[in-house]
Chains A and B, each alone.
Chain A
Amino acid sequence: MAAKPDLAAKSDRDIVALARAGEEPAYRELIRRYERPIFSLLYRMVRDRELAEDLAQETFVKALNAIESYRPEFKFSSWIFKIANNAAIDHLRRRELDTLSLEGSPHAETPDAIEATALQIGARQESPLDAVEARELGGQIEVAIARLRPEYRSCILLRHVEGRAYEEIAEILGLPLGTVKTYIHRARNELRQALAHLRE
């Protein structure tokens, strides 16, 4: 029997080719690679854990069911981030949910639901002192990001959290390159102003 190919070592393009050939492990590998980045982007966009999970699931189902129509000359990551961003923006437009909700979803009614939907900050810290400091810093910056306009938020998250190039962000968001640069600079200005008191 042939050895099972090491999917983790393969490129996205190879994994997509295997998925198109009907290999279920390739589908699972794509989910494994992108579930955290996609979920994080959506969570920071909609600020509601349950909703972010639903949107992430919708994103993956849409992308994987349309894998035949994916064009390999583009990056798979750009494609799936584009689907995720569209899902988030569509939702925000529908709900007009632009208010800050770090304390939990505005739709949560019970204490458990509020806790479940609250943005969890400083989750990967080590020492208690570091955790306190990171919670403070992370908390402030999460609040500042949450207060940005949705289009600024997408841009700044893709640029500085995901580390995407300006050109790729333009492709993901379907915006001109100049607009993306303007959004990112404005977002950084707003974030600097919001966090200025921390530097003093």
Chain B
Amino acid sequence: MTGDSTQLHLTSDDVDAWLAGVAAPELQRHVDQCSACLELVQAEQALAAQLGTLPLYTPKVDFANRVMASVYIPDPFAIRSLQAARRRLLGSRKAIAIAATLALVLLGSMSASAAWTLANRDTLIAAGNWLAGQAAGWAWLGLRSAALNLIEQPWFAGFRSLVETPGRLAIASAALSLMYVSGILALRRLLAVPPRRVAHANR
């Protein structure tokens, strides 16, 4: 409220100050003389009192349990371990200095590596091609050694005579297939679940 206190009515801020009990003396004098403002502050006080006595409502009894069922609680042991590790690693100035040096060395080496790679792409491509050629040569040599070893086995001549003509190859394939099927049937029989009642089990 500004100006002549008998002519201007209370502002919202004045009413707030009145409700908070920190009204200035000129406000008090104005309210004593102005019936409209007296009625206003009385109504505001009554309203604030009514609002202040409104009850708090209570949710259902299992409310907390329902909330907790959907809340993720971090593992205290894991947190403590992490904190302990952090304390060990960063617990002193010396440890911090070592960690910072290691981080700098790591970052520096990674940056240098990236920079060298970008500057020497031709060298890297040539080295990659040489490595691929060497790998192919070693693979071919290995295959040749394995084949020579197989040919020199004593049973290889007999095996070769078995599959020398298409007719013999067909007979050998059929015999192998028959052995395979027989083996499967034998395994099924061995692995079959026995019936619940076993004959003569109670004798």
Compute how far the CA of A53 lies from the CA of B53 in the bound complex, rounded to whole angstroms.
22
CB distance from B130 to the nearest CB of A (A): 52
In chain A, positions 105-141 with a C-beta closer than 8 Å to chain B are 120, 122-124, 137-138, 141
Compute how far the CA of A23 lies from the CA of B80 in the bound complex, rounded to whole angstroms.
11
Closest chain A residue, CB of each to CB of B13: A181
Residue among B44, B58, B71 with the highest chain A CB neighbour number at 10 A: B71
Verify B64–A156 contact, CB threshold 8 A.
no
A36 with B44, Cβ < 8 A, contacts A21-B79, A27-B68, A65-B71 known? no
Verify B71–A27 contact, CB threshold 8 A.
yes
Residues of B within 8 A of A141 (CB): 50-51, 54
Residues of B within 8 A of A160 (CB): 48, 51-52
Residues of A within 8 A of B79 (CB): 21-22
Chain B: residues with Cβ within 8 Å of the partner, total of 35
> Does B157 have its Cβ within 8 Å of any Cβ on chain A?
no
> Does A6 have its Cβ within 8 Å of any Cβ on chain B?
no
Closest chain A residue, CB of each to CB of B69: A61
Verify B57–A23 contact, CB threshold 8 A.
no
> Does B181 have its Cβ within 8 Å of any Cβ on chain A?
no
Q: Of A31, A64, A188, which is within 8 A of B63 by CB?
A: A31
Residues of A within 8 A of B3 (CB): none
> Does A192 have its Cβ within 8 Å of any Cβ on chain B?
yes
Verify B73–A188 contact, CB threshold 8 A.
no
CB distance from A173 to the nearest CB of B (A): 18
CB distance from A185 to the nearest CB of B (A): 4
Verify A123–B44 contact, CB threshold 8 A.
no
Compute how far the CA of A35 lies from the CA of B67 in the bound complex, rounded to whole angstroms.
10
Compute how far the CA of A53 lies from the CA of B62 in the bound complex, rounded to whole angstroms.
11
> Does B70 have its Cβ within 8 Å of any Cβ on chain A?
yes
In chain A, positions 68-127 with a C-beta closer than 8 Å to chain B are 120, 122-124
Verify A40–B56 contact, CB threshold 8 A.
yes
> Does B142 have its Cβ within 8 Å of any Cβ on chain A?
no
Compute how far the CA of A37 lies from the CA of B59 in the bound complex, rounded to whole angstroms.
10
> Does B55 have its Cβ within 8 Å of any Cβ on chain A?
yes
In chain B, positions 70-86 with a C-beta closer than 8 Å to chain A are 70-76, 78-80
A36-B59, A61-B67, A141-B50 known; 7 new pairs, CB 8 Å cut-off, are A160-B48, A161-B51, A185-B15, A188-B44, A191-B47, A191-B51, A196-B43
14 contacts between A and B (CB under 8 A): A20-B74, A21-B76, A22-B79, A27-B73, A28-B68, A52-B57, A64-B67, A138-B53, A138-B54, A141-B54, A188-B47, A191-B47, A192-B44, A192-B47
Binding site for A on B (CB under 8 A): 12-13, 15-16, 43-44, 46-48, 50-60, 63-64, 66-68, 70-76, 78-80
